Amino acid sequence: MIELRGVTLDVGERALLNDIDARIATGEFVALLGRNGAGKTTLLRAIAGLHRLRLGAISIDGTPSAQMRALDRAKRIAFVTGDEIFLESLLVRDVVSIGRFPHHRWWQWNAAPSDDAAVDSALAAVRLEAFAQRLFSTLSAGERQRVWIALGLAQETPILLLDEPTSHLDVGVAHEILALLRRLTRKGKTVVCALHDINEAAGYADRIALLGDGVLLALASPDAVLTEPLLHRAYGIAFARRTALLPDSVLVARPHVGT
């Protein structure tokens, strides 16, 4: 369980998010929505321990995050980000193996059988087994995103945070990735995922957290959050409800999880 109490975040000298309270249950899929610059990425980073809180506290399964050592935090929270960087001659398997870092001390030189098993199952989860020996640089955008998710899965953490995993992806690949995240929550993983597409959030998330005006405007079921007044407040434009055209998988994957 992730618990935020009175979390206030600054970026540089500027206040970004104020007094955020939230509880995210184990096995829940929470989508994080808000306009560019609303603080989605910063909030995810704060939960991952990569951004300092000005005020408030974040606790993971009852343990204050600030008291955790970086390696212990990395055993509980994986943070998947798609920032593009050039990887010179790295194989997909090499990249995913880096997710095993928190499970090693510096003197543990060689990979253990449990490392290989974790990397294998992470590759299998994102259906990239056949790509293990491919050069990362030869992959498509969707395949790369799956590699970054596999890196997070190889960490074997109960919590998975993702920063816009569906940006730049076509609708088919995007829904494939969201369906994968949905499957992971069924196995008990907690997923918090920043998204830009409201329909994706509506289709897959148990609850939606909507950021705007420097606060958490709402954290509730998609039906309760995706209302004209709230969306207008978050995005500053008018919305009208029409029947969305969604892939079949959404209907199949649409969960019925009580919160």
90 and 140 in contact (C-beta within 8 Å)?
no
d(CA 20, CA 93): 38
Backbone angles phi, psi at 174, to 5 degrees: -60, -45
d(CA 72, CA 86): 28
Query: Measured between alpha carbons, how far is residue 21 from residues 42, 71, 79, 99, 225 in Å?
Result: 15, 26, 21, 30, 16
Residue in 51, 44, 111 with CA at minimum distance from that of residue 80: 44
97 and 122 in contact (C-beta within 8 Å)?
no
Residue in 197, 203, 196 with CA at minimum distance from that of residue 221: 203
Helix orientation angle between 113-125 and 141-154, rounded to the nearest 10 degrees: 140
Q: Please, what is the minimum distance in Å from the beta carbon of residue 138 to another protein?
A: 5
Q: Please, what is the minimum distance in Å from the beta carbon of residue 125 to another protein?
A: 18
Q: Please, what is the minimum distance in Å from the beta carbon of residue 74 to another protein?
A: 3
Q: Considering beta carbons, is residue 29 or 79 the nearer one to another protein? A: 79
Q: Considering beta carbons, is residue 73 or 146 the nearer one to another protein? A: 73
Q: Please, what is the minimum distance in Å from the beta carbon of residue 38 to another protein?
A: 20
Q: Considering beta carbons, is residue 90 or 132 the nearer one to another protein? A: 90
Q: Please, what is the minimum distance in Å from the beta carbon of residue 141 to another protein?
A: 13
Q: Considering beta carbons, is residue 74 or 177 the nearer one to another protein? A: 74
Q: Considering beta carbons, is residue 36 or 138 the nearer one to another protein? A: 138
Q: Please, what is the minimum distance in Å from the beta carbon of residue 70 to another protein?
A: 5
Which residues bind to another protein, rule: CB under 8 A?
A: 48, 50, 69-75, 78-79, 81, 83, 85, 87-90, 94-95, 98-99, 101-102, 104, 106-107, 109-110, 135, 137-138, 151, 155
Three-class secondary structure of residue 125 per DSSP: helix
209 and 179 in contact (C-beta within 8 Å)?
no
Q: Considering beta carbons, is residue 52 or 168 the nearer one to another protein? A: 52
